[in-house]
Amino acid sequence: MTTDQPIADSDEHPILLFDGVCNLCNSSIQFIIPRDPAGKLRFAPLQSDLGQRVREAAGLSPDDLETVVLVDDGNAYTKSDAAIRVAEQLGGIYRLLSLGRVVPRGVRDRIYDFVAANRYDWFGQKDQCMIPDDDVSDRFIE
């Protein structure tokens, strides 16, 4: 999903909103951080005030924690579109994931939805949102 109206001021850094209590989501953020040594991406939990504002502005349900949201240049991208754009931000070999665009978005998003619906059962969840380490805390908003 993209929007025509600016969603949030993503500054010079795209902002990746993620489910802060999801172990799969937290592991994904931990995977991204060392692969983004320039620190292009910023992060915030969907449960944060920013996450709620962005979801509302993007027309997503305030209760929807089933998708990551990437805010880039003021536009919101969700599900497989967000994942592909993150891979492009990482560059290098991860850019090859942009080839996933040849698969129709409906198919990509159905796969994404299947994983999202089962992520707590498969990977578990935390009682509270992730607290970043001091060395990367400046990359987390709020």
Q: Is 3 exposed, middle or buried (0-12, 13-18, 19+ CB in 10 A)?
A: middle
Alpha-carbon distance 10 to 101, whole Å? 24
Count helices and strands in the chain by DSSP H and E runs: 4, 4
The model's pLDDT over 79-133, given as tens digits with 9 standing for 90+, comes to: 999 999 999 999 999 999 999 999 999 999 999 999 999 999 999 998 877 777 7
Alpha-carbon distance 96 to 85, whole Å? 11
Chain centroid to CA 9: how far?
16
Rounded to two decimals, the pTM is 0.87
The model's pLDDT over 11-52, given as tens digits with 9 standing for 90+, comes to: 589 999 999 999 999 999 999 999 999 999 999 999 999 899
The DSSP output letter for 8 is S
3 confidence band (pLDDT: 50, 70, 90): very low
